[in-house]
Amino acid sequence: MRTVTAHTALVRGLLDPMLAELAQATPEHVGIGHPELAGRVIAIDLTAATPLPPFENSQMDGYAVRHRDLLEAAEAAEPADPAAARSASITLPIGRTVAAGDAPIPHAPGTASPVMTGAAMPVGADTVIPVERANPAHFTELSRAGDPEPSGTVTFASTPPRGEFVRARGSDLPAGATLLTAGTRLTPARIGLLAGAGVAEVPVRVRPRVLLVATGDEVADPGAIRTAGQIHDANTPLLAALLTGLGAEVRTRRTGDTAAELQHILTAAAESVDLIVTSGGISAGAYEVVRDALTEYGVEFAGLALQPGGPQGLGRWAVNGSAVPVLCFPGNPVSSALSAELFVAPALRGYAGRPEALPVEQRTLAHELHSPLHKHQVRRGRLDADGRVHVTAPGSHLLADLAAAELLAHVPVGVEHLPAGSPIEIWRLHD
């Protein structure tokens, strides 16, 4: 039996060169507001064309002043005592108002210009005093460019530090600085950064295109069961959701137990996909459509020291000059889901700029368990209130237990029995 480690290396030998090639492919350009941008991966290093913020602006609704004017007015009020001057109240004439979105205006020296949060600092002013620290503590006169000259005054109780509440041009990022490097996954905050920097179209890595083919005469569409003995297709929706969540662009097909039909599907799709994944039809039965259809094309089938997920196939669909990697998963839903998690997910996470592995923890078993001696067993389970691991039955048809699971518990090869209280490695699901 092949070990999980050996099979993983063979799968990565197929997936890694394919993904490396995709990472170098011509990037796709996705609009900055497109809902599908989140989770995509930057294809090339991006730099800031302008500084962020692009102009000096106010951090508060308040009065823009020249700090020197405050100092001079305070000294005039308390000429003999510099300490008293710092806390002397100062009255200035009100200047022109500037609102967010207005073009920058000149600041008349010796005045206090009403300024709103985000508005360009009046040119010549260097400090902002929030309106609630002024007297009156609300705006009394707002006179924008083109309005009649303002005539009132405003009083400040003391002199703030120079530059207070002014956001300097480039204080977030200077022009030419790196916004994001190639390979970075787009989180909401990173999308916000690109948008703030004025990037309209984002060059992202193309998504791996995966053809998913579920097989089996017994497998039917939702609501389409016509005879006893048929079951609903759980694997296609499950694997499609899993692979889509990993960043793949998934297309799906279903076929019965006729090898020629499966061969036809694969040949038709081979030119337009980067990976083929099949489910079912690979074990020891009489009607193993995947094994029958792919063996003659050099796809190799092996038994792994793994449960669930024992039977696996791997190779390339090499027809008409294409050589698309093919992975064949067992038909049981839990087996195919775990096969995808163990063998495909790490590579796709890496391509998507995420940590390859699920979060790993060492925990304690709440109860005893048994495992096949010569296989690596992966059990599904949950943590109790004390953080101990409870696992469910090992059957690979148990979809409800998989759906309720929050962890995978690993029992290594060579272990047949673990008593309650044993240490056990778990992988956290739902990252």
In contact, 37 and 123? CB cutoff 8 Å? no
Residue 61 touches which member of ligand LQZAQKY5, ligand MOO, none, C-beta under 5-8 Å by kind:
none
Which span sits near ligand LQZAQKY5 by CB under 6 A: 83-91, 143-151, 279-287, 378-386? 279-287
State how far the alpha carbon of 401 is from the alpha carbons of 119, 216, 395, 398, 407, in Å.
57, 23, 10, 6, 11
CA–CA–CA angle 106, 110, 111 (5° rounding): 65
In contact, 271 and 320? CB cutoff 8 Å? yes
Residue 292 touches which member of ligand LQZAQKY5, ligand MOO, none, C-beta under 5-8 Å by kind:
none
Residue keyed to tokens 């992988």: 427
Contacting residue, 51, 330, 353, 381, with ligand LQZAQKY5 by CB under 6 A: 330
First to last CA, the chain: 31
Q: What CA–CA distance (Å, rounded) separates 173 from 199?
A: 14
Q: How many residues bind ligand LQZAQKY5 (CB under 6 A)?
A: 26
Quote the tokens at residue 378.
């992966």
Helix (H, G, I), strand (E, B) or coil at 428: strand
Residue ranges of the alpha helices (H) in 54-184? 67-77, 82-86
Is the CB of 133 or the CB of 251 nearer to ligand LQZAQKY5? 251
Q: What is the contact mask toward ligand LQZAQKY5 in residues 198 to 227, using x (rule: CB under 6 A)? A: ----------------x-x-xx--------
Quote the tokens at residue 206.
């193309």
| Contact call for residue 394 and ligand LQZAQKY5 (CB under 6 A) | no
Is the CB of 160 or the CB of 309 nearer to ligand MOO? 309
Residue 279 touches which member of ligand MOO, ligand LQZAQKY5, none, C-beta under 5-8 Å by kind:
ligand LQZAQKY5
CA 66 and chain centroid, separation? 45
DSSP 275: E
Q: What is the contact mask toward ligand LQZAQKY5 in residues 295 to 324, using x (rule: CB under 6 A)? A: -------------x-xx-------------
Contacting residue, 332, 339, 371, 377, with ligand LQZAQKY5 by CB under 6 A: 332
Is the CB of 215 or the CB of 263 nearer to ligand LQZAQKY5? 215
Q: Give min distance, CB of 303 to ligand LQZAQKY5, in A.
A: 7
